[in-house]
Chain A
Amino acid sequence: MTSIRQNVYPDALPDFRNLGVIARVLLGVNVLALAAAVYAAPAWPQFMEQFVGAAAYLEPLLLGSVVLLYAFAPLLARLPYWPGCAAVLGLVLLLAAGSHAWWLGASGILRTLALAALLVALLLGYLRLLAKAYSPALAEARLQALQARIRPHFLFNSLNAVLALIRRDPKRAERTLEDLADLFRTLMSDGRQFVRLADEIALLERYASIEQLRLGDRLRVVWELDAAPPDALLPPLLLQPVLENAIYHGVEPGTDTGEVLVRIEQRGQRVVARIENPYYPDHQHRVGNRMALANIGERLQLFFDAEASLEAGVRNGRYVVQVELPYRSREARRA
């Protein structure tokens, strides 16, 4: 993992626990079955009967396969791509053979196996193409994350604040430069590698301490992190831009103290992060907020497909951004 990878986008098996993948598999197989029914029906009106007949036979096998793959997902994820495909094929064929033998005995079992193998190959190919199509977008996402994040306003004001500290409080100046260095190291890191929530939180705290230096009493950050799972994995710099927005739009325009709430918690198999800030309707002309949010939404979709969500809006006079993602830790995913 430490060497420079020549092949930036190695093939990887789809994540069989991802809602988007499961939905695509279910939909794909049923659409194919429907097409087959239309083709096989002796006359147009009968195709529905044909489909229902086929479905009774197909759906248990399909659902069984999905459940089986869901169960074996962590094991499958450890295999290299092609052996992984073979394992997927093996599992599905085993299930198909078993269920066919159970219901229909030995006759016609080869036909069932051939059909199942074709479907598996078709779907794996489709999901691979899909992953390929997304890969450049992932690289793009990294770049976007980088560009969207370095707000010159923040960088130059921070440097200015450090310059002001050097003579009066050299220790604090040092600490602030270290914080800035950490922040920029993450900004320039590989945006495709997941990070631990604990690391993202540390980054949030560093970032907040730089802002605190600039804004003094005007900024008050309330942290509610006791229920945050430190080992949850998420794309880097997912929450920092939200906090940056909260301060830029919710604290800087005000002359009084602005309170920003950062609450991250685990709810069942979900990680929920909520960031709230005071809302200044007059300052919505400061564009960039929606762009940053769109960028985060896009990255969430790339990494988690349908399983993550991003909501933003005004509630009780405060601007609230809530990000929800599935809880994944290192064990459940290949490092």
Chain B
Amino acid sequence: MSELAIFIADDEAPARGRLRELLDDIAQEVPTRVVGEARNGLEAIERVPESGAQVLLLDIQMPGMGGIEVARHLARLPQAPAVVFVTAHDRHAVEAFELNALDYLLKPVRGERLAAALRKAMAAGPTAAAPLARAAGQAREYLSAAERNRIVLVPLRDVLYFKAELKYVTLRTREREHLIEESLVALEREFADRFVRIHRNCLVAKGAIRGFERAADEDDEPRWLTVLDGLEERLPISRRQWPTLRDLVAEK
């Protein structure tokens, strides 16, 4: 049996040490090899793709980015690792987080449980995105795109707009565009407090709206365009969305 490539992500050094010890203890049963470690969520996103890890032991409460969001981004990798969450939450919290659909271990972790979780994770393969999204319970702080074998993160606060185009959604920041594989409807639902729909195919960041410009009338009816902070491009507002937008700006 070949060795299983494991990646450990936990912000507490003793916790990482403990997992390594346990992996040693169960080496007879489940041979493993630790291919990398991370001390926080962003480090994990950076290091996991190139580590070739098959299983990721992932702490849920980490600074920077929590474990569940990390798993959601890593799920975009062509060869995403199977994820086993590790948490010091009590059972109530575990239920509240809907983690039951996922593999998780409670700290302090026992050797037997770890071995069982590793075997199960290998049999099940990469963790699916849908239960992760359900478990997240709150909006992501970052959006992500898989580029070759790495994950590019875009902080949500940098996003000016999302625009749906055929198969992809284009995400625009001040600097550049990214293509992400998500649906505009799901984005609208997840980020309802920070983004507003201005058109059938477009969501803009509420905080980035500077004002509206009137475009040349085509058929008597005035058409409005959105002016966004730091962007030359003007985005058309549909007639249907115009009253909502007008009210939103009036509230400010």
Contact = CB atoms under 8 A, between A and B. Distances in A.
Contacts of B102: none
A215 interface: yes
Nearest to B13: A216
Contacts of A53: none
Given A161-B12, A163-B108, A164-B21, A255 B88 contact: no
B43 to A, nearest CB: 8
Contacts of B12: 157, 160-161, 214-216
A325 B63 CA distance: 35
Contacts of B42: 255
A156 B59 CA distance: 13
Contact of B18 (A153, A160, A253): A160
Given A152-B89, A215-B12, A255-B40, A164 B17 contact: yes
Contacts of B63: 252-255
B174 to A, nearest CB: 21
Contacts of A213: 14
A185 interface: no
A111 interface: no
B40 A161 contact: no
A33 interface: no
A164 B14 contact: yes
Interface centre among A156, A159, A167, A213 (most CB of B within 10 A): A156
Contacts of A171: none
A5 interface: no
A325 B106 CA distance: 41
B227 interface: no
A273 B199 CA distance: 55
A160 B88 contact: yes
B96 to A, nearest CB: 12
Interface in B1-53: 11-15, 17-18, 21, 39-40, 42
A156 B107 contact: yes
Interface in A206-234: 213-216, 218
B173 interface: no
A165 interface: yes
A234 to B, nearest CB: 30
Given A157-B107, A167-B21, A255-B40, A152 B88 contact: yes
Interface residues of A, number: 23
Main secondary structure of the interface of A (DSSP, over half): helix
Contacts of B21: 164, 167
B106 to A, nearest CB: 7
Given A163-B18, A164-B15, A255-B40, A156 B106 contact: yes
B123 to A, nearest CB: 27
Contacts of A161: 12, 14-15, 18
Contacts of A164: 14-15, 17-18, 21
B64 interface: yes
Nearest to B18: A164
Residue of B13, B21, B109, B141 with most chain A CB atoms under a 10 A cut-off: B13
B214 to A, nearest CB: 37
A157 B88 contact: yes
Interface string A145-180: 000000011001101110111011000000000000
Nearest to A256: B63
Contacts of B14: 160-161, 164-165, 213-214
A229 B64 CA distance: 39
A214 B61 CA distance: 13
Nearest to A282: B141
A254 B11 CA distance: 10
Contacts of A215: 11-12
Contacts of A160: 12, 14-15, 18, 88, 107-109
Given A160-B18, A160-B108, A255 B39 contact: yes
Contacts of B88: 152-153, 156-157, 160
Contacts of A214: 12, 14-15
B92 to A, nearest CB: 9
B232 to A, nearest CB: 30
B89 A153 contact: yes
Contacts of A218: 11
Nearest to A213: B14
Contacts of B61: 153, 252
Interface in B71-121: 88-90, 93, 106-109
Question: What 3 A-B pairs are tightest by C-beta distance, nearest first?
Answer: A164-B18, A164-B14, A156-B88
Interface of B: 11-15, 17-18, 21, 39-40, 42, 61, 63-64, 88-90, 93, 106-109, 138, 141
21 contacts: A152-B90, A153-B61, A153-B89, A156-B107, A159-B107, A161-B12, A161-B14, A161-B15, A161-B18, A163-B18, A164-B21, A165-B14, A168-B17, A214-B15, A215-B11, A218-B11, A254-B63, A255-B11, A255-B39, A255-B42, A255-B64
Given A153-B88, A157-B107, A167-B21, 18 more contacts: A152-B88, A152-B89, A152-B93, A153-B61, A153-B89, A156-B107, A159-B108, A160-B12, A160-B15, A160-B109, A161-B18, A163-B108, A164-B21, A214-B12, A218-B11, A254-B63, A255-B11, A255-B42
